[in-house]
Structure 1
Amino acid sequence: MKRIAIFCYNLFANGTVKIALTQAEILQEAGQEVHLFIFNPGGDFIPPTNVNIHYVFDENNLSLKSQQTKLQHYVREQEKITGPFSLFLSNSTDCDLIVSGCDFTPCYYFCHCALKQELLMELKRGPFHFFRRWKKAKALIGKNIITVSNGIADELKNTTWLKPKSVQAIYNPFKIDTILAKSKLEIDEIPVEPYMIHIGRVTRQKRLDILFQTIKLMPNAPKLVLLTNRPKRALKLAEKYGVADRIITPGFQENPYAWIARAQIMLLSSDFEGLPTVLIESLICKTPVVSTDCPHGPNEILTGKLSQYLVPRREPKLLAEKALVCLQSLPDVSQAVILEKVKSDYIANQYLALCEK
């Protein structure tokens, strides 16, 4: 049995946090002793009950150095009780900044995003945003990095300034049986009328402007259910594009799978991704997907016959056309190749192999 420490910054609803919690669950189910170190207790998700939970920081406004010192001390004190950890996993850019200043080994840092695209996006927002993101990115220099798609791995291997110690791709784990079981549950709020679905935060990366332009070009298509962290802000943007009356925004949902499973299609309009969780969840729920062919991930998920549902970025007309084709003849997605590659037990074994390196 291995003792594994997983670092998670908070419990707010986003894909990175969901993956960290899934990592903890599948490794515990694989017979390991998992400790989940949560830096800040706030958020939407409920941590798994079958793992050891630690809330690290209860003070506000600690300096970075103080956070690093406290985390190092906290973990070492825990090791005195339980024994040394065999593996440390850092799961977000905010975690990386703190964990990188500690002497944990072997430690692996997950890169969930297209780093180059993120830096370029922040540069467009201004120097303050760029340097704040750059500071977090620099934490990966000389580190062992796990990317969640082959596309990100290739990008980082060709990034001259990063010079990582190692780079390898491991897809995110999915508890397929659990997702399928939750997808069948009844939820009163789910519309009885046909609908499309999009799931994502209200950020520049997700390009809701492209999504809403797409909806406007599909006046006879079903309404769009939008599961997002900022429904009011999303609706305000929808008003700008004249489609607010065709958007349904129920807010955060603990069980998005029931909503996904009853949708006709899933739409993704992003400028960039890492390995978009919602696309794989949609395929698990047997809901077809139409997505931008953005860096990185969608073209590793929609392969073979499903690759026809990839369209160029920032092209709402093409996204609308392909969505209408998909709606007219819904493809069978149950045999998508990616589903075999993301099974939780398979991914857990890949994580455990890191202990031996």
Structure 2
Amino acid sequence: MKKKVVLAIFTLQGNGAERFALTLAKGINDAGHEAHIVYFKDIIDLPIPEGVQTHFFDYQKFRAIPKFMRAGIASKAFDKFVLKQIGTPDLVLSNLFPVDFILCRSQLPNVHMVIHNTTSQEYAGRLDNKTLAQLKNIYLSKPCVGVSQGVTDDFKKLFGSENITTIYNPIDLDSIHAAANEYVPEINGPYIVNVGKFKAQKRHDILIQAYAKANIQEKLVLVGTGELMEQSKALVKSLNIEDKVIFAGFKKNPYPYIKHAKLMVVSSDFEGFSIAILESLALGKPVISTDCPSGPNEILLPSNLVPLQDFSAMAEKMGMAVKNEKDFYQRIDDKFLLHKAVNLYLNLISESK
């Protein structure tokens, strides 16, 4: 029987969770079911897969409501919106905090919250008793899904709850390869690449310092934008490597940049999963990554990992990888493929009945 799945997300602007929602929606449709994406802020920067239906729920008008009342009022409006525009769903997947804050009060059937990051790391330094109580009110209200085993383990430890299962973020090999062939980046000479938002979690400062220390001929291409981009540019200037580092900006389709790179490097302090690693492997590229509390070490071999915040170790590994790329290449485990994730998410429907 055809199932109806709603994926709720704040915007369709970004990379990780946003690309996850679009990829899973495509996979659900391809499996003969019906996927709908409901987004809260009217920004779409990412390509929408053919056949995936999108619906704009205008959350902005609820911003004037005091926060202690907002979730209850907005959740009722969200439920009414879904029932009118889509019908009764078999499964609702809530993605990221602004949406989770609302959908924790939803009365729609079978609402699950997808946890995209290690919560203890995401709220590090501000996880006092009040904040923890607020998060518990949200995330213990519905069953949850962790996008990696590390995310799930962190959730269980932080909240003392077993009401969470692990479903790895999937990749769609065909779509990635097709998108990677859409254009060729205008970059002269070989380069290594990083794709990610310029924010504290991603530690572009570590990557830039490691790149400067590695002293390799390949350029460094940084794909993305964010609040710390100017700070990263200042660091590049201070290290006198402006002629070797390219700030490419946000790309709706970053895959050609990955395809034509020699190497992908991930420098994050923490990741929920890092789907960019899988996408790079799908395009036949080796990946060097920090050994985050979750994500990279569930995908990559130990030889491809370096300790957190150790730019000297990262510099050494980058130098080795550009000289001997094949030594760092690895195949993708089938458990990360799209059809596997689709089946596991659809199983949440039968488990709820």
Q: Which residue of 1 aligns with 2:224?
A: 228
Contact map agreement 1:10 1:40 (CA 8 A) in 2:
yes
How much has 1:4 moved relative to structure 2? 1.1
The aligned amino acid for 1:11 is L
Distance 2:263 2:85 in 1: 50
Q: Which residue of 2 aligns with 1:190?
A: 186
Contact map agreement 2:170 2:341 (CA 8 A) in 1:
yes
Give the secondary structure class of the aligned counterpart of 2:326: coil
Contact map agreement 1:186 1:258 (CA 8 A) in 2:
yes
Distance 2:59 2:154 in 1: 37
Gap regions ≥5 residues in structure 2 = none
**Deviates further, 136-145 or 108-117:** 136-145
The aligned amino acid for 1:190 is E
- Quick check: 1:260 aligned with 2:250? no
Distance 2:26 2:19 in 1: 11
How much has 1:315 moved relative to structure 2? 0.4
Q: 4+ runs of 1 displaced by more than 2 Å?
A: 46-49, 58-83, 130-138, 184-187, 230-234, 236-245, 332-335
How much has 1:232 moved relative to structure 2? 4.3
Q: Which residue of 2 aligns with 1:116?
A: 120
Distance 2:274 2:168 in 1: 11
In structure 2, the CA distance between the partners of 1:42 and 1:98, relative to structure 1 (3 Å rule), is same
How much has 1:38 moved relative to structure 2? 0.8
Distance 2:55 2:234 in 1: 38
Q: Which residue of 2 aligns with 1:201?
A: 197
Paired-residue identity, %:
30
Alignment of 1:333-348 (within 5 A): 335-338=330-333, 340-348=334-342
How much has 1:139 moved relative to structure 2? 1.4
In structure 2, the CA distance between the partners of 1:202 and 1:137, relative to structure 1 (3 Å rule), is farther
Alignment of 1:235-274 (within 5 A): 235-274=233-272
Give the secondary structure class of the aligned counterpart of 2:249: coil
Q: Which residue of 2 aligns with 1:40?
A: 41
In structure 2, the CA distance between the partners of 1:190 and 1:287, relative to structure 1 (3 Å rule), is farther
In structure 2, the CA distance between the partners of 1:101 and 1:290, relative to structure 1 (3 Å rule), is same
In structure 2, the CA distance between the partners of 1:196 and 1:11, relative to structure 1 (3 Å rule), is same
* CA deviation profile, 1:41-71 (whole Å, cap 9, x unmatched): 1242243441232111164424343454344
* CA deviation profile, 1:15-59 (whole Å, cap 9, x unmatched): 111111112111112111222111111242243441232111164
Distance 1:134 1:247 in 2: 43
Distance 2:243 2:85 in 1: 57
Alignment of 1:71-220 (within 5 A): 71-76=75-80, 78-79=82-83, 83-122=87-126, 135-136=134-135, 138-159=137-158, 162-164=159-161, 166-187=163-184, 189-220=185-216
Distance 1:243 1:206 in 2: 20
Distance 1:82 1:212 in 2: 46
Distance 1:10 1:47 in 2: 12
The aligned amino acid for 1:201 is K
* CA deviation profile, 1:136-194 (whole Å, cap 9, x unmatched): 565112431100111111222222xx24361111011211111012223333x431300
Give the secondary structure class of the aligned counterpart of 1:217: helix
How much has 1:103 moved relative to structure 2? 1.5
In structure 2, the CA distance between the partners of 1:254 and 1:201, relative to structure 1 (3 Å rule), is same
Give the secondary structure class of the aligned counterpart of 1:53: strand
In structure 2, the CA distance between the partners of 1:344 and 1:323, relative to structure 1 (3 Å rule), is same
Distance 1:107 1:73 in 2: 16
Contact map agreement 1:197 1:267 (CA 8 A) in 2:
yes
Contact map agreement 2:8 2:39 (CA 8 A) in 1:
yes
In structure 2, the CA distance between the partners of 1:134 and 1:277, relative to structure 1 (3 Å rule), is farther
Identify the match of residue 309 of structure 2 among 305, 314, 321.
314
**Deviates further, 87-96 or 98-107:** 98-107
Distance 1:321 1:141 in 2: 43
**Deviates further, 219-228 or 269-278:** 219-228
Task: Provide the aligned length of Structure 1 versus Structure 2.
Answer: 345
What's the TM-score, normalizing by structure 1?
0.89
Give the secondary structure class of the aligned counterpart of 2:271: coil
Contact map agreement 1:302 1:336 (CA 8 A) in 2:
no
Distance 1:325 1:74 in 2: 52
RMSD (Å), alpha carbons: 2.4
In structure 2, the CA distance between the partners of 1:131 and 1:250, relative to structure 1 (3 Å rule), is farther
Give the secondary structure class of the aligned counterpart of 2:112: strand
Q: Which residue of 2 aligns with 1:29?
A: 30
Q: Which residue of 2 aligns with 1:356?
A: 350
